[in-house]
Amino acid sequence: MDDILIITAYSIIADTMRALGHRSHSLAAVTDDEVLFVAVVAALYFQNNHERALYMLIALRYLTKPLSISRFNRRLHQLAPWFEYLLDLIGEVAARGEVFIIDSLPVPICQRVRAWRCRKLQAHHPLAHHYFGQCRAKRWRFYGWRLHLVVSAEGVPVAFNLLPAAWHDLTPIYELTNSLRKGATVYADKGYISKLVKRTLRATAQRAGVDLVTPTKVNMRPNSLAERSGLRQYRQRIETANSQLVSMGIQQLHARTNAGLAIKVLASLLALACKNLN
């Protein structure tokens, strides 16, 4: 465990909550920022296993007082909106850059063969077919969600969305790029090829917009030298960010409810931000 990274994660959480005037309950032995901090450390070093992270931090005296796992889980669910708020603040700062990368990552609930026994997303529901997805690069079929993510050139999450696995990568692109500065460049893979989307996203005199750069197909106009150079330079960044999330266990999350799954995804994104900011 890296002490500098751990201190960075705690400082981001505690200083932000303190600056916004948040105060923990006077009877709480462990403060609210420490509860969120445990979830982030669990993502960083324990593949989102909250119980292991909690007991380890107590043993190493990173926490002021002991805390049971059941009480920790109850408080974490109550404080879950803070994860989104912290990520929004970090994304707002990171969105001031000029180069961004977009991609999607499978977040399975279970294997497709076990979908009919899944309790979080029941496969017999009329809309269940939206959650049957596949990762063509790995020839992998799964049942669950897909995380759509925009990161800065440093790998800091700027915008994200968790959508059903079968939905196309282009589905949330307008929402994800809406907060980026005018004229920014967004690099993507072949899954985002669309002349209409590229033309719609482009900045004009009447509105802000971004320049979407993707690899080209054989029957398309080749990319310019600058675009090819940018793709080589920046596409690796999102692959690294995806690998970091996979190492945090985002594709093997054990959660009993959809709310618990969302908390672990948000904690993983905040851990990714702390790691790459650090």
Q: How many CB atoms lie within 10 A of CB 122?
A: 12
Q: Which helix (H) or strand (E) holds 147?
A: strand 140-152
CA trace torsion 31, 275, 12, 157 (10° rounding):
-110
Mean pLDDT confidence for 262-278: 91
Contacts by 134-138, CB closer than 8 A, 24 or more apart:
134/165, 135/106
Give the tens place of pLDDT for each residue, 159-218. 999 999 889 989 999 999 988 888 899 999 888 988 888 888 887 655 678 899 988 887
Instruction: Give the residue among 276, 267, 244 at the shortest CA–CA distance from 42.
Output: 267
Domains of the chain: 3-79 (no CATH), 97-255 (3.30.420)
Give the tens place of pLDDT for each residue, 87-128. 999 999 998 889 999 999 999 887 777 777 777 776 566 777
Q: What is the pTM of this model?
A: 0.90
Give the tens place of pLDDT for each residue, 119-168. 777 656 677 788 888 877 677 888 889 999 999 999 999 999 999 988 99
